[in-house]
Amino acid sequence: MAPCSCSEQIRRLSQQVAVMRKEMKNLRQHLESAVRAHRKHMASLQSELEACRQGKHEMKKTAEKDPQRGAEFSLEKGHIQTVPIGYISSCFSKKNGTPRQPAVCMSSRAALQIQPSVFNNPDHALAGLEHYSHVWLIFLFHKNGHMSYKAKVKPPRLNGQKVGVYSTRSPHRPNAIGLSLAKLESITGDTLHLSGVDLIAGTPVLDIKPYIPDYDSPSAQTNMSVQYETTEDAGDSEPEGLQCLGDSSSELDPKMRFSASGGLSEHSGSVFSEVLAEVRDYLQQGALCVETLADRRPSEPEPEPESQRASRLCYGADSYSSVAAWIRNPPAAELSVRFTPTAEEELREFQPPESTDAGRPKFQFLKGPDEAAAAVRGILSADPRSVYRRTRCSDRLFYFSLDTADVTCWFGDGFAEVLRVRPVQTQECLS
Ligand SMILES: C[S@@+](CC[C@H](N)C(=O)[O-])C[C@H]1O[C@@H](n2cnc3c(N)ncnc32)[C@H](O)[C@@H]1O
């Protein structure tokens, strides 16, 4: 019996050894492939690092040799170093109570002085701007408090509903850049005097551009593109100032050219008059089909469901652009605004900036109590409270500062009432 059990044991052991060998082989293969993958990964990291070093070195070398080219290199990579061209001085010292858009409060005022560190002669940079009535201001939301942002936001006018950040003018966005259209009241030397602003004092401005309705308004763009002229010998080259409307224009007639400046030329053939008439008819029909606000309001008995309201497009005064319906018909209602007799008296005490009456409070920007009253009405009628404050807070008092006045008010159903208008305690915020 004993020899038999011994050979059995040997057989079992050799079986186990075979299994272990197989496992070892698998393990080795596995390890080898892991090492290969790891090496490959290391090699790609190495080359990335090398490329990075090379790029940086290249950038440094280029920047040292040619600062202009160095800057270009950065621009191409999407890195720009922004330098504020100036800082806003404004009648709003805090975010609270600052209009949500310039149109909310046309009487708000501000000034912008161009930094002497940007231009040796800052006033030279403004030459010619006096011919424009409005300017675009591109600025940083420097008082956002935190740099976080979300893909969906709740604009106050939408009463808690969410929309994509890029369909709003929310300050909380990647690259906290704002854009406001302001009225250019005047320019004195290196300083722009503005009205209709929604910016707080100290806002860093990155750029100014003139507002040019011919470029910035879609209705003008459409008008420009339907004006065309014909030339007998237009040739291949595009005459200066003429623009083609993309590929579709070539389908009509090679001699037909769309003009940015002129109407129909003397040489227009009847075929072009017909086309023009057709285009006009088409546009007119479009304009008639499009529902304007004026058309819609009286015949709209029922408020629309929220879901439809948010998605339906709404056309305004011009029929060439469209905006989300909530912009013009927000679910958050406009409020009526009133002053208590005391608040009205207190406001009347304020003097215009040029006043020499030392015994009474004086505005720094606003032209007087009437302009201030108009600003307060604009700000409050748009309900400046956050949705949280509006819906969750039992405290109905609201404070904000406007120029050199501290304003206290309270909100009731459908109205805001101004209770107090006192001179601000500190002036340091209004820089
Ligand atoms: C809704 S944003 C619109 C700004 C601009 N018109 C735009 O469309 O980009 C306006 C609000 O931004 C806030 N605000 C103004 N200046 C700011 C600044 N420098 N930093 C952070 N928030 C600011 C104010 O509370 C104001 O009501």
Domain assignment of residue 121, yes or no: yes
Instruction: Kindly state whether residues 222 and 212 are assigned to the same domain.
Output: no
Comparing CA positions, the residue from 201, 252, 198 lying closest to residue 229 is 252
Domain assignment of residue 317, yes or no: no
Instruction: Kindly state whether residues 254 and 207 are assigned to the same domain.
Output: no
Instruction: Kindly state whether residues 97 and 192 are assigned to the same domain.
Output: yes
313: left (phi over 0), alpha (psi -120 to 50) or beta: beta
- Write the residue with the smallest CA distance to atom 24 of ligand 1: 95
Instruction: Kindly state whether residues 68 and 108 are assigned to the same domain.
Output: no
Percent of the chain's residues with pLDDT above 90: 47
Residues with CB under 6 A from ligand 1: 95, 98-101, 141-144, 169, 171, 178-180, 198-200, 203
Q: Which atom of ligand 1 is nearest to the CA of 384?
A: 27
238 has a pLDDT exceeding 60: no
Say how many domains are in the chain: 4
116/38 Cα distance (integer angstroms): 55
CA of 184 to the centre of ligand 1 (A): 19
What DSSP element (H or E) covers 277?
Answer: helix 270-289
Q: Which of 92, 98, 149, 154 to mutate to test the pocket of ligand 1 (most atoms within 8 A of CB)?
A: 98
Instruction: Please report the pLDDT score of residue 321 as a whole number.
Output: 84
112/201 Cα distance (integer angstroms): 10
Instruction: Please report the pLDDT score of residue 29 as a whole number.
Output: 87
Task: Give the Å distances, CA to CA, from 223 to 213, 214, 230, 268, 302.
Answer: 12, 9, 17, 18, 36
pLDDT (tens digit, 9 = 90+) per residue, 3-20?
568 888 898 999 999 999
Q: Which atom of ligand 1 is nearest to the CA of 200?
A: 16
Instruction: Kindly state whether residues 98 and 211 are assigned to the same domain.
Output: yes
Q: Which of 106, 134, 198 to mutate to test the pocket of ligand 1 (most atoms within 8 A of CB)?
A: 198
304 has a pLDDT exceeding 70: no
Q: What is the dihedral of CA 69, 71, 75, 79, to 10 degrees?
A: 150
356/170 Cα distance (integer angstroms): 41
The whole domain housing 417 covers 336-423
46 band by pLDDT with thresholds 50, 70 and 90: confident
Q: What is the dihedral of CA 334, 375, 91, 186, to 10 degrees?
A: 120
273 has a pLDDT exceeding 70: no
Instruction: Kindly state whether residues 92 and 176 are assigned to the same domain.
Output: yes
Q: Which of 95, 194, 389 to mutate to test the pocket of ligand 1 (most atoms within 8 A of CB)?
A: 95
Instruction: Kindly state whether residues 105 and 159 are assigned to the same domain.
Output: yes
Q: What is the mean pLDDT of residues 20-44?
A: 86
CA of 84 to the centre of ligand 1 (A): 16
Instruction: Kindly state whether residues 95 and 189 are assigned to the same domain.
Output: yes
Instruction: Kindly state whether residues 201 and 264 are assigned to the same domain.
Output: no
Instruction: Please report the pLDDT score of residue 227 as a whole number.
Output: 47
User: Which residue, 164, 196, 216, sits at the end of a domain?
Assistant: 216
User: Which residue, 201, 216, 231, sits at the end of a domain?
Assistant: 216
Domain assignment of residue 303, yes or no: no
Domain assignment of residue 190, yes or no: yes
- Write the residue with the smallest CA distance to atom 16 of ligand 1: 199
Domain assignment of residue 236, yes or no: yes
Instruction: Kindly state whether residues 210 and 223 are assigned to the same domain.
Output: no
* CATH code for position 131: 2.40.30.70
Domain assignment of residue 326, yes or no: no
- Write the residue with the smallest CA distance to atom 27 of ligand 1: 100
294 band by pLDDT with thresholds 50, 70 and 90: very low
- For the chain, the average pLDDT equals 78
CA of 324 to the centre of ligand 1 (A): 20
Domain assignment of residue 95, yes or no: yes
Q: Which atom of ligand 1 is nearest to the CA of 180?
A: 6
Q: Which of 144, 154, 199, 401 to mutate to test the pocket of ligand 1 (most atoms within 8 A of CB)?
A: 199
User: Which residue, 57, 76, 95, sits at the end of a domain?
Assistant: 76
CA of 271 to the centre of ligand 1 (A): 52
Instruction: Kindly state whether residues 261 and 361 are assigned to the same domain.
Output: no
Instruction: Kindly state whether residues 93 and 184 are assigned to the same domain.
Output: yes
- Write the residue with the smallest CA distance to atom 23 of ligand 1: 141
Q: For residue 90, what are the β-bridge partners?
A: 110
Rg (CA), the chain: 34
Q: What is the mean pLDDT of residues 365-390?
A: 93
- Write the residue with the smallest CA distance to atom 9 of ligand 1: 178
Domain assignment of residue 299, yes or no: no
CA of 170 to the centre of ligand 1 (A): 8
Question: Which position has the higher pLDDT, 60 or 187?
Answer: 187
CA of 305 to the centre of ligand 1 (A): 29
Q: Of 46-55, 232-241, 305-314, where does mean pLDDT reach its minimum?
A: 232-241
Backbone φ and ψ for 199, nearest 5 degrees, come out as -115, 145
CA of 148 to the centre of ligand 1 (A): 16
Q: For residue 192, what are the β-bridge partners?
A: 112, 187
Q: Which of 104, 134, 141 to mutate to test the pocket of ligand 1 (most atoms within 8 A of CB)?
A: 141
